Amino acid sequence: MARDYQLKRPASGGTSGIDYAAELNEQQYAAVSAPPGRSLVIAGAGSGKTRTLTYRVAYLLDQGVEPKNILLLTFTNKASKEMMDRVRSLVPQDVSDLWGGTFHSIGNRMLRRHADELGFTRSFSIMDRDDQKSLMNTVIAACEIDTQGKRFPKPDVLISIFSLVVNTNDTLEEIVEFRYPYFEEWLEEIRRVEKAYRKKKIQINSMDFDDLLVLTLQLLQKDSELLRLYRKKFRYILVDEYQDTNHVQCELIDLLVGEGQSLMVVGDDAQSIYSWRGADMGNILGFPERYADAEVYRIETNYRSVPEILSLSNAAIRANRKQFNKELKAARASGVTLPALVPVEDPTTQAQFVAQRILDFRDEEGIELEDIAILYRAHHQSLELQMELTSRGIPFQITSGLRFFEQVHIKDVGAFMRFVVNRKDEVSFKRMVMLLPGVGAKSADKLWAGWGASDLAKEEGVPKSFSETLLALPAPKKAQQQWEQLAHTMDELVVGGEFARPSDMIFSILEGVYDDYMRGSFDNYENRRQDIEQLMSYGQGFNDVLEFLAQLSLMSAVDGDPSGSRAEPDPEQVTLSSVHQAKGLEWKVVFVIWLTDGMFPNGRVLEADDEDMLEEERRLFYVAITRAMNELYMVYPQINPKSYTGDVIQRPSRFLDDCPAELMEEWRVGGSW
């Protein structure tokens, strides 16, 4: 006959002594003290989401839950560290056995114990992006794909395609058809590369970041006994930013939860803005259906913004059909001003208004530059603003990417133009020709030697034609078709014995050569094309290409200081950021610029006429305006001067239609410069 014997929990050094009801608001306390089971916590912007999660962990520990039985999943290392540090400051016991980290770090932890079940050893390497590109080049070469005459996607693009396949649950055919339609003719070859890439990773005992999720899921699906052990271990699972989970992460959570484990997911459907990288808002919207017994908690007290900004935010998001309805309420007292709606004449005036208002804040109202941000839908929309801030000596930092003139594709286009006006510019010539397939450093040296020996290279003045000389040079066979196109494109940069206007040059370079290069080389082709179109628009203000190139060089020197003597960065800087990069941050003053249809919401979304895509754009607008603590300025130019089509009348963003007039104050910007 068996004898029962009960283990007692060892003394932990006492409970935290936290008065949860006193330290949390009513809604936060309800979520933190929720009984075991399945819980969905809808935490609005600025409502204390991190506080709620960390107090939930402390509450579980105070209830006698062992740290080893808790799994806390986050999306960033920063969030994970912040939460774990807060937990340690709240509770007296040792929490080193608590598994807290990003999805990828937890996946790595499991795979280090069990990778041999998947054909890897436990000492597998984790490849970063450069490692992946190097391996992809090896795989492409081994597949012996004939790319003669047509550009095959570069490793960066293939990596993005394969990542989307595993993170969205779409097929390779669907990803190529809907996101990369210009590669449909290469579909069979891409499939071969994908298969060879997967096989090669096992051969070299290496995983990429996607594998850390996908293979963890496969491991648990394959080994039921192992799954049972982890389900027994993780009795309480908590997930941060649940609205950003993709299908793999969602499946992994559902699998670990099983029938009996407690699960609490925290997120805000109104801030779901990452579908383009695989996030599926259906995970959070469908949570109550997947877990029929789930309790839904709402946390709606906002500690960030004044009531005037929150009233506008609530109105702005109300138009979305697919959402959990909630109404953010301000914990703060009323502010001094309503959110400002600022129509201005054109993009230049927009930049001038923002810059002058920033100086007003700094010099007259005592607001530090670091407490001010300018947000935009796409990086290229910051061009005029960067120039205006630079000319006024206002220091700024950019979180949405490199400064405009530092970007590789802007420098590539500039190389064509520099070589046209300076036929002795070896650096620009080599940068230009090395964009072509099959042209490496040695080929570029040979082409330069041939060019240097030609009569045209030695002549002064504006050349009559480039193509006759260029076509006589020994271009590699693989680049022959593109070389011919390059030669004829260079001819277009000279018109009637004079250099073409800068905007016309950029158009010829883009349509003749560079667009094809970008399609095959960059995974964010559309964004880069928009950057060059913005450069083209900027070039409309110049008739002299030398003056235009001088301005580019001066801006690059300010941006990058090629002398290498860049001074220490100013600790007080205005922040320029895309809205995607700004999520989770806050500033006292926020300017949202380019609020016009086609810019925000994005033109591709409007062309697609897809309601789900438009709703995500509206959520992005909501994220933008909820970054503001005290003052919000929504700015849009009424006219946009565009190349070749003349001035275009801009329609204010349709998202502004959802904002009642009484919740905003319209500013009329006058004056002249």
**Which tens digit of pLDDT belongs to each residue from 615-631?**
999 999 999 999 999 99
Question: Looking at this protein, which amino acid is placed at residue 419?
Answer: F
Q: Is 240 a catalytic residue?
A: yes
Looking at 208, 210, 240, 388, which residue is catalytic? 240
Cβ neighbours of 192 (radius 10 Å) = 17
Token pair 């895509």: residue: 613
Mean pLDDT of the chain: 88
Listed residue (638, 380, 427, 375) closest to 553, CA to CA:
427
Mean pLDDT of 139-166: 86
Q: Is the pLDDT of residue 521 over 90?
A: no
Q: What is the pLDDT of residues 4-24, one digit of tens each?
A: 887 665 544 457 788 999 999
Q: Is the pLDDT of residue 336 over 80?
A: no
What span, in angstroms and rounded, lies between the C-alpha atoms of 194 and 190?
A: 6
Given the DSSP bridges, would you call strands 494-495 and 498-499 parallel, antiparallel or unpaired?
antiparallel
8 Å CB contact between 360 and 340 = no
Q: Is 337 a catalytic residue?
A: no
Extended strands (E) in 113-214: 125-126, 206-207
Looking at 151, 418, 627, 654, which residue is catalytic? 627
Q: What is the pLDDT of residues 26-46, one digit of tens each?
A: 999 999 999 999 999 999 999
Mean pLDDT of 444-469: 85
pLDDT at 402: 64
pLDDT at 312: 97
Q: What is the pLDDT of residues 419-452, one digit of tens each?
A: 888 888 888 888 898 888 888 888 888 898 888 8
pLDDT at 9: 57
Listed residue (25, 18, 22, 14) closest to 90, CA to CA:
18
Token pair, residue 202, equals 């096992």
Given the DSSP bridges, would you call strands 295-299 and 301-302 parallel, antiparallel or unpaired?
unpaired
Q: Is 540 a catalytic residue?
A: no
Cβ-Cβ contacts under 8 Å for 645 (sequence gap 6 or more): none
Looking at 62, 241, 523, 615, which residue is catalytic? 241
Q: Is the pLDDT of residue 641 over 80?
A: no
Instruction: Kindly report which listed range (213-222, 264-273, 274-283, 365-374) carries the lowest average pLDDT score.
Output: 274-283
Q: Is the pLDDT of residue 406 over 80?
A: no
Record the pTM.
0.82
- % of the chain residues with pLDDT over 70: 94
Given the DSSP bridges, would you call strands 494-495 and 646-649 parallel, antiparallel or unpaired?
unpaired
Token pair 């041939």: residue: 450
Q: What is the pLDDT of residues 524-558, one digit of tens each?
A: 888 888 888 888 888 888 888 888 887 776 665 44
pLDDT at 655: 97
Looking at 49, 326, 377, 403, which residue is catalytic? 49
pLDDT at 550: 73
Listed residue (530, 474, 465) closest to 492, CA to CA:
465
Q: Is 49 a catalytic residue?
A: yes
Mean pLDDT of 292-310: 94
Q: Which residue has the higher pLDDT, 439 or 172?
A: 172
> What is the chain's length?
673
Mean pLDDT of 599-619: 92
Q: Which residue has the higher pLDDT, 556 or 125?
A: 125
pLDDT at 6: 75
Q: Is the pLDDT of residue 335 over 80?
A: no
pLDDT at 565: 36
pLDDT at 465: 84
pLDDT at 567: 40
Backbone dihedral angles phi then psi of residue 671, each to the nearest 5 degrees: 95, 175
Looking at 27, 74, 249, 271, which residue is catalytic? 271
Mean pLDDT of 185-194: 93
